[in-house]
């Protein structure tokens, strides 16, 4: 789960190669994405994180540990609350499986279920199954400079190169000093805003700037969104291949 | 003829004991007919509603569509084979496309199935003509009354509709409820959002595609051969028949118990009758009545309980059943949770076959029950009987 979120965020934040028209005074979109890549890309990651799902009446806090290799493979396990503890999620490319200790069954999430919210959050399972590099999928153009909080940012517009890309358009606000995305908006083909991501806190790990606190929001839904906090992150760890198999879900 | 008169007089002579048995038996008899009639009516109504509003006289399904596999739904649409074009143009067949989506009434997510249908179709008895609305601002949609109630919307309300087009890209637009239809068929209501097929094909980029084709129920002409699989109404309604049969088996336990109680009363009466009328039997045998005739007499007496029960049930039951079949039985609870297409008011159907069949079953079982205790008369000695002994 956390890994999935990390993959999602990582995909959004890390891989932004672009190719498009260069605005006169702004850097090339591709260059902006490469800068982000340099800052954030690693061979693999092990992350411990906290997700706070804000419901209408109350909030729930879920902690998890996730392992990610590139953008294609991830494995995560819930650590708390007790009700969710032991639930595991495996993603291999666009395939997703969930193991629930209560039923001791592995279920593939597909079809209609992909639209379901993950643990009541503003993220759907579908959001986790996007594995394609944004740079390959989108034409990136820097279209403006804006302040996000106290930080100067470049606004990068991403337009899907093909019709089969999940979001026809995205906008990303990239910190032009630290080369980390601070905000993102995703749009439907009709131009309707669907989802937003805000990074409200960043931290430096092993010389990289990394998001610490994020807020995901499904704009079409009520609520305050879902907070995602990275408690710890380690790069380039020795992760066994066995972890990325369905058999590992029952271990 | 003599034993018939004798049996009738004996029964009449037994007074209240006879009439109580007859009444209990008639109740059981009536219950069987009522329950069976109710299940028959339930099945017929369910099939009629499905035929009228959803299934037509049959359907063609695209290869991938499998209603029992929700995972097949995202890909369950194909280009409509050209061979169907003449029948579609003449209105005999109407294409329908199922497509997954989500709505956000009051900013709450609800997964739904979009049902694309030609607003001009006449195959299904639902008011699809309400979808004949042109608007650039919103997508006109129609809901069933249960769906509208469950998401708390009414005609005129606007909310966001989201879907992924045929290429997998997210899309979303505001949709306006142009009509809320009242339908007895909950399967086309709950969880479904109706939209103009052409519009659905356009927004999903699935031009000229559909999930299934519905054939008009009045069409009896030839159907074309196609790679799309044909399913007759009989095949499509198998679930309904299975469900009713299952419920009917459950119901048969109840009327089995009722019958058992009534037959037990007849059995007891026979045993008591044989015990109390030992001397009478001896006298009859002394006067020349054979054992076989005696057995026939007592069996006939028992069997006549069944006959009287039928007569009594006809006297007080026929008006009740008739009234029930005309007024129907309005279910006190919501029938949508029954797992099958059902109207709120059920109309039992009592066929001649059902009534005659039940009469025959009752008469046979009562006669057999009456015969069992009488068998011992085959060994009865007239002298013992006259002295009040049973050998």
Question: Does residue B212 have a cis bond before it (omega within 30 degrees)?
Answer: no
| d(C-alpha B299, C-alpha A109), whole Å | 68
Distance from CA of B341 to the nearest CA of A (A): 23
Which residue of A lies nearest to B73 if distances are taken between CA atoms? A111
Tokens of B272: 């008591």
Query: A23 vs B81, which has greater pLDDT?
Result: B81
Cα gap A112→A124, rounded to integer Å: 11
Q: What is the pLDDT of residue B179?
A: 96
Residues pairing with A219 in the sheet: none
Specify the CATH number for A2-250; select among 3.10.200.10, 2.50.20.10, 3.90.1150.200, 3.40.50.10860. Answer: 2.50.20.10
pLDDT in tens, B161-213: 999 898 888 999 999 999 999 988 888 999 999 999 999 999 999 999 999 99
Question: Does residue A161 belong to the interface with chain B, where contact is any CB pair within 8 Å?
Answer: no
The pLDDT value given to residue A111: 64
Name which of A199-208, B129-138, B284-293 the model is least confident about.
B284-293
Q: Least CB-CB distance to B170: which of A112, A116, A188?
A: A188
Q: Looking at beta carbons, which residues of chain A come within 8 Å of B164?
A: 166
Any idea which of A58-72, B135-149, B200-214, B279-293 has the lowest mean pLDDT? B279-293
- B163 within 8 A of B100, measured Cβ to Cβ: yes
Look at residue A16 in the predicted model and tell me its pLDDT: 40
Distances (CA, A) of A32 to A68, A139, A161, B239: 24, 12, 18, 59
Residue B195, both tokens: 């939209």
The pLDDT value recorded for residue B379 is 74
Average pLDDT for B234-252: 86
Taking the C-alpha atoms of residue B61 and residue B58, their distance in angstroms, rounded to an integer, is 10
Give B256-270 pLDDT, tens digit per residue.
888 888 888 878 887
Residues of chain A contacting B107 with CB distance shorter than 8 Å: 220-222
Query: Would the CB atoms of A194 and B168 count as touching at under 8 Å?
Result: no
Helices (H), chain B: 2-13, 16-50, 85-89, 145-150, 197-203, 233-236, 238-276, 278-286, 291-327, 352-374, 382-386
Residue B13 has pLDDT above 60, yes or no: yes
pTM, rounded to two decimals: 0.77
Indicate yes or no: CB of B160 within 8 angstroms of CB of A115: no
CB pairs under 8 A between A and B: 72
C-alpha A194 chain-centroid distance:
15
Name the nearest CA neighbour of A170 among A140, A129, A149: A140
CB contact under 8 A, A167 and B73: no
Residue A234: name the closest of A42, A91, A36, A37 by CA. Answer: A42
DSSP β-bridge partners for residue A218: A195
Q: What is the pLDDT of residue B339?
A: 67
Number of other CB atoms surrounding residue A162 within 10 Å: 12
Q: State residue A118 phi and psi, 5-degree precision.
A: -85, 110
How confident is the prediction for chain B on average, in pLDDT? 87
Per-residue pLDDT averaged across B274-291, rounded?
A: 78
Give the span between the Cα atoms of B213 and B210, in whole angstroms.
8
Q: Which residues make beta-bridge pairs with A156?
A: A142, A172
Q: What is the mean pLDDT of each run of 10 residues along chain A (251 residues)?
A: 46 40 68 78 88 86 91 88 91 87 87 72 75 76 92 93 89 92 94 94 89 93 89 90 91 80
CA B110 – CA B102 distance, rounded (Å): 5
């Amino acid at each position: 789960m956390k890994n999935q979120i990390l993959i999602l965020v990582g995909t959004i934040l890390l891989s932004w190669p672009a190719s498009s028209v260069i605005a006169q005074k702004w850097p090339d979109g591709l260059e902006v994405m490469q800068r982000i890549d340099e800052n954030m890309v690693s061979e693999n990651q092990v992350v411990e994180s906290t997700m706070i799902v804000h419901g209408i009446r109350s909030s729930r806090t879920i902690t998890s540990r996730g392992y990610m290799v590139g953008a294609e493979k991830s494995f995560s396990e819930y650590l708390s609350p007790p009700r969710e503890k032991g639930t595991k999620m495996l993603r291999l490319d666009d395939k997703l499986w969930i193991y629930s200790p209560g039923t001791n069954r592995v279920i593939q999430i597909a079809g209609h279920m992909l639209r379901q919210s993950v643990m009541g959050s503003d993220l759907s399972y579908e959001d986790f199954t996007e594995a394609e590099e944004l740079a390959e999928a989108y034409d990136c153009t820097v279209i403006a400079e804006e302040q996000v909080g106290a930080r100067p940012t470049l606004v990068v517009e991403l337009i899907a190169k093909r019709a089969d890309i999940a979001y026809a358009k995205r906008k990303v606000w990239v910190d032009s000093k630290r080369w980390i995305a601070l905000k993102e908006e995703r749009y439907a083909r009709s131009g309707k805003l669907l989802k937003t991501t805000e990074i409200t806190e960043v931290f430096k790990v092993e010389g990289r700037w990394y998001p610490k606190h994020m807020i995901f929001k499904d704009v079409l839904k009520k609520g305050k969104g879902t907070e995602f906090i990275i408690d710890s992150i380690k790069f380039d760890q020795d992760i066994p291949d066995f972890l990325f198999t369905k058999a590992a879900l029952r271990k | 003829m003599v034993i018939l008169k004798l049996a009738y007089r004996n029964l009449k002579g037994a007074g209240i004991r006879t009439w109580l048995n007859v009444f209990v038996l008639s109740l059981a008899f009536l219950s069987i007919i009522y329950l069976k009639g109710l299940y028959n009516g339930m099945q017929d109504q369910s099939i009629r509603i499905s035929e009228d509003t959803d299934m037509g006289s049959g359907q063609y399904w695209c290869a991938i569509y499998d209603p029992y596999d929700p995972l097949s739904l995202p890909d369950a649409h194909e280009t409509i084979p050209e061979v169907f074009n003449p029948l579609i143009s003449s209105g005999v067949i109407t294409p329908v496309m199922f497509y997954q989506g989500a709505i956000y009434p009051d900013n709450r997510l609800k997964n739904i199935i979009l049902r694309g249908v030609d607003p001009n179709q006449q195959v299904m008895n639902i008011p699809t003509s309400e979808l004949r609305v042109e608007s650039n601002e919103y997508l006109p949609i129609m809901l069933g009354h249960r769906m509208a109630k469950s998401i708390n919307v009414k005609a005129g309300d606007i909310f966001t509709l989201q879907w992924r087009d045929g290429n997998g890209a997210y899309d979303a637009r505001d949709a306006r409820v142009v009509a809320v239809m009242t339908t007895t068929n909950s399967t086309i209501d709950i969880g479904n959002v109706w939209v103009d097929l052409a519009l659905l094909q356009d927004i999903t980029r699935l031009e000229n595609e559909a999930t299934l084709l519905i054939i008009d129920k009045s069409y009896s002409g030839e159907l074309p051969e196609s790679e799309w699989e044909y399913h007759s109404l009989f095949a499509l309604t198998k679930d309904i028949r299975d469900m009713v049969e299952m419920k009917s088996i459950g119901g048969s336990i109840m009327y089995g118990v009722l019958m058992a109680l009534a037959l037990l009363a007849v059995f007891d009466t026979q045993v008591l009758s044989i015990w109390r009328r030992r001397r009478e039997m001896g006298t009859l045998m002394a006067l020349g009545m054979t054992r076989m005739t005696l057995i026939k007499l007592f069996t006939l007496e028992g069997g006549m309980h069944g006959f009287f029960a039928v007569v009594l049930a006809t006297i007080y039951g026929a008006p009740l059943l008739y009234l029930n079949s005309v007024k129907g039985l309005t279910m006190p609870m919501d029938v949508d949770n029954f797992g099958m297409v059902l109207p709120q008011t059920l109309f039992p159907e009592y066929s001649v076959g059902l009534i005659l069949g039940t009469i025959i079953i009752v008469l046979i079982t009562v006669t057999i029950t009456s015969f069992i205790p009488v068998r011992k008369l085959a060994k009865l000695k007239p002298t013992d009987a006259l002295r009040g002994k049973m050998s």
